[in-house]
Amino acid sequence: MKLTNKIFSNSHDYLFGWKTVETKNIYSNKYIELYEDVMEINGKKKTYTRGIRRDYSTVVPFISSDKILIIKSFRHFVNSIQIEAPSGYIEDNETPETAAIRELREETGYSPGRIINIGTYTLDYSMFEQVGNLFVAYDLVKEGDQELGLMELIEPMIMTVDEIRTLLQESKILNSSSIVAFYRAIDFNKKQKSQEQSSTTL
């Protein structure tokens, strides 16, 4: 089972003479694999715990140049409703883009006429192998009702870019993938809008 794209090293020999001399899988399920590595560092051995988590896609859907379709999602771990961008794991038969389109459709009922990859990032490369894929979506079309899972309590909502910026600056958006996605998407959209305005004045 391949949970993550390889931006991480699969070598057992690292810079500065560090080496992995032994590795043991201690837990696995559909979404995560946990390992204990025995590393050799400057002649000394160190047991290091690491995880591989399934990659995911996050999409920021623009309704217009200054409005975004967000989701209000109940998260039981923090026992509260959180402002987020549609997001979810990439299934075995999917690309990051098809996962982003599916998650948008399931969580909001909308499909994009146009979707653009705006980059990748990792939440914590010190302990976990996992890649987050970021997208912006435009020209949304209402396809039908939401298709939510058992643990998904989600309400779509439209917010302005300025409202989202305020929530980000006031630390009222807690989900890290949404924080990164909103900042990058807003910046990308601003640059796109500037380029379009420049081209029309030529």
- 35-62 pLDDT, tens digit per residue, is 999 999 999 999 999 999 999 999 999 9
- Per DSSP, what are the bridge partners of residue 199? none
Q: Are 84 and 70 in contact (CB under 8 A)?
A: yes
- Say what percent of the chain tops pLDDT 90: 84
Q: Are residues 181 and 141 in the same domain?
A: yes
Q: Are residues 174 and 87 in the same domain?
A: yes
Residue 4 has pLDDT above 80, yes or no: no
Give 122-156 pLDDT, tens digit per residue. 988 899 999 999 999 999 999 999 999 999 999 99
What share of the chain in percent tops pLDDT 70? 92
Token reading at 132: 């987050």
DSSP state of 56: E
pLDDT at 32: 96
Cα–Cα distances in Å, from 67 out to 61, 182, 186, 198? 9, 12, 10, 21
Is there a single domain that holds both residue 97 and residue 143?
A: yes
4: in domain: no
- Tens digit of each residue's pLDDT (9 = 90 or more) over 92-122: 999 999 999 999 999 999 999 999 999 999 9
DSSP 13: B
Are 114 and 137 in contact by the 8 Å Cβ rule? The answer is: yes
pLDDT of res. 123: 87
CA distances (Å), origin 26, targets 12, 49, 55, 80, 150: 19, 10, 20, 32, 28
Residue range of the domain that includes 28: 15-53
If asked whether residues 138 and 186 sit together in one domain, one would say yes
For residue 70, give the CATH number of its domain. 3.90.79.10
Does residue 159 register a pLDDT over 90?
A: yes
Total domains, the chain: 2
Report yes or no on 128 lying in a domain: yes
Same domain, 127 and 174: yes
- Residue 179, pLDDT above cutoff 70: yes
- pLDDT confidence of 29, banded at 50, 70, 90? very high
Rounded CA-CA distance 105/194 in Å is 29
Output the six-digit token pair for 7. 């931006």
What average pLDDT score do residues 176-186 get?
97
